Structure 1
Amino acid sequence: MKRLSRFATRFLFYLLVLFVVVYSAFPFYWAVVSSFKPSGELFSTNPSLLPLPFTLDHYKNVFLQANFGRNLLNSLIVAGGATLLSLTLGVMAAYALGRLPFPPRSAVLYIVLSMTMFPQIAVLGGLFILLRQAGLFNTHLGLILSYLLFTLPFTVWVLVGYFRGLPKELEEAAYVDGATPLQTLLKVMLPLTGPGLVTTGLLSFIAAWNEYLFALTFTVGDSVRTVPPAIASFGGASPFEIPWGSIMAASVVVTVPLVILVLVFQQRIVAGLTAGAVKG
């Protein structure tokens, strides 16, 4: 009976894991399959799970569009800039909040956390006016600064827990040798935060890369527009046609690099999130 019960428990566990994997991966699989199907097959009443017949026309249409390469470059500039700026500011803020003693530390942490509680639509109007008044509307810098609204709090919270988990003896030894707090951060503590930096940097980059609402609102034309609103603006041969094939192909093009990055750095991501969540 114990063996049977153990077998049944294990079987149900793997069945649940299989369901979660299929449920999570199937939408991406279907996008890949649809990107290789001819347009007529996408509206078939009996769709196939395999790309039969096979075609690359949708990928050709995506890359033949004059502005899609520009949109990819814009996404790289904005997401990369937002990630680097949030890491730079987040490291200094997290070190101060995690290691330096000052009375309102907890209050500041809760204020940082409260920044993530507001939906994007709630701050959209204020940010729009702010960017217009500052002359940053429809610029890369305007998008980068607006993306800090959701990348910076996440960076600070993860790195605060990570800095708190580092040994105090290293910091004390640096102070004994005459190092300032900034020197201690840059030369002693920062080299030890590799997993935390990779985790926050990669997840912040993904969030900025996939952001849609700010990119749609704060850009006009394709000179600064990033990939998500560019894909949403794809048009078909007629005003009533939605080019699902091209949309799926473009989505695969912008998603595959992120999947590769996550697979390459998955161990560091898990290590960084675990350290930031349970230490300190």
Structure 2
Amino acid sequence: MSTSMRITQRRTPKISSLMWGALALFVAALWAFPVYWMLNSALLPNVTLQSSTPTFIPFGGSLDNFVAVTASGTFFSALGVSLTVTSITVVCCLSFAFLGALAISRFRFRGRKGFILALLLVQMLPAEGLFIAQYRMMANANLLNSVLGISILYIAAVVPFTIWMLRGFVTGIPVELEEAAMVDGLTRTQAFLRITFPLLAPGLVASGVYAFLQAWNEFTIALVVMTSDTSKTVPLWLRGFMQSSATRETDWGQVMAASTLVSVPVIIFFLLVQGRMSSGLVGGAVKG
């Protein structure tokens, strides 16, 4: 093989890698641009945002929009409601889904197939068709405008799919690992807690992320059952910035500032859990 042919073969993979890298950077820039535009707009006054000439770099920007958003005090009230509701939803959903997924994956019992089928059918029900029943149920139980009431509705809505997600993780862990641990002298409970449970960590984290996003971003159910101004969740609170009560115009600077503040807890949550998505893959494979 000649020297020129060898050089060409070396260059071809390198050029291909550069092209794929450039494409990846382009796609990443497209994905990140809306986030950048939201933050950029949050730093600019409303007059600048309404100009026909877009401002891509916020020279001369300020934090006035953030100050205006947080000055009323309603942000912290809505943030507290959403954090409480989301925390209750995530903890309860993971607890119920973990037990449900374990039951349908590890045990054979009467009604098992019917239970699995019910999980699928529940996902097909349109949420809008349940609003009247949910409102009447919450009203009869005196749970309107309450954290407990909306948490119950969120848990009921998120648990079925969470069980289905965790079922795949539980099924993917060979039962022989537990049996081998029992041969080594562990009880069934010890084998599960020391061998199987650590391997479920990625599944629990993934299910927790799903439950968190569903509860944090949910709008329609909260709109129906959280009608009081003092019990609004963050999505309901954010809607209040879409139109100013004085000018009847949308203050886009404050809308973008409010949207940025709403996204901060989500970013913090992902930073906390992203490192644990794969940490449990082999954590329980060794007895010790």
Return the TM-score normalized by structure 2: 0.82
SS at match of 1:265: helix
The equivalent residue for 1:250 is 258
- Using the TM superposition, give the Cα deviation of residue 109 of structure 1 relative to its aligned residue in structure 2, in angstroms: 2.1
Partner of 2:203: 196
Provide the rounded CA distance (Å) in 2 between the counterparts of 1:85 and 1:244: 37
Give yes or no for the alignment of 1:29 onto 2:36: yes
Query: Following TM superposition, by how much is the alpha carbon of 1:49 offset from its aligned partner in structure 2, in angstroms?
Result: 0.8
* Counterpart-to-counterpart distance in 2, 1:186 and 1:133: 41
1:6 Cα deviation from its structure 2 partner = 5.2
Which deviations, in whole Å up to 9, do the C-alpha atoms of 1:33-90 show, x marking residues without a partner?
0000011111111111111221111100111112211100000000111111111111
Deviates further, 82-91 or 16-25: 16-25
| Equivalent AA in structure 1 for residue 220 of structure 2 | L
Percent pairwise identity = 33
Alpha carbons of structure 1 residues 176 and 146: separation in structure 2 relative to 1, 3 Å: farther
1:33-112 superposed matches below 5 A? 33-112=40-119
Aligned match of 2:27 in 20, 40, 49? 20
Contact between 1:199 and 1:272, CA under 8 Å: does it hold in 2? Answer: no
Q: Which residue matches 1:158?
A: 165
Structure 2 residue 139 is matched with structure 1 residue 141: no
Counterparts of 1:178 and 1:19, CA distance in 2: 53
**Structure 2 residue identity aligned to 1:109:** I
Distance in 2 between residues matched to 1:131 and 1:272, nearest whole Å: 39
How far apart are the structure 2 equivalents of 1:251 and 1:211? 15
Q: Which has the larger radius of gyration?
A: 2
**In 2 relative to 1, CA 222–187 (structure 1 residues): closer, same or farther, beyond 3 Å?**
farther
Structure 1-normalised TM-score? Answer: 0.84
| Gaps in structure 1 of 5+ consecutive residues | 274-280
Q: CA RMSD in A?
A: 2.9
Q: CA deviation at 1:158?
A: 1.7
What's the secondary structure of 2:229's corresponding residue?
coil
Partners of 1:88 and 1:164 in 2: CA distance: 17
Task: Check whether the contact 2:178–2:188 (CA below 8 A) recurs between aligned residues.
Answer: no
Give 1:154-193 correspondences, 5 Å limit.
154-172=161-179, 189-193=196-200
Q: Which residue number corresponds to residue 278 of structure 1?
A: none
Deviations 1:75-132 (A, max 9, x none): 0000111111111111110100111112543442232123223332232222122222
What is the number of residues matched between the two proteins? 272
Contact 1:37/1:54 (8 A) holds in 2: yes
Q: In the aligned structure 2, how far is the partner of 1:150 from the partner of 1:144?
A: 10
- C-alpha distance in 1 between matches for 2:72 and 2:172: 49
Contact 2:199 2:280 in 1 (8 A): no
Query: Distance in 1 between the 2:245 and 2:143 partners?
Result: 35
What's the CA shift for 1:150? Answer: 3.4
Structure 2: 5+ residue stretches without partners? 1-7, 282-288
**What is the deviation of 1:231?**
0.8
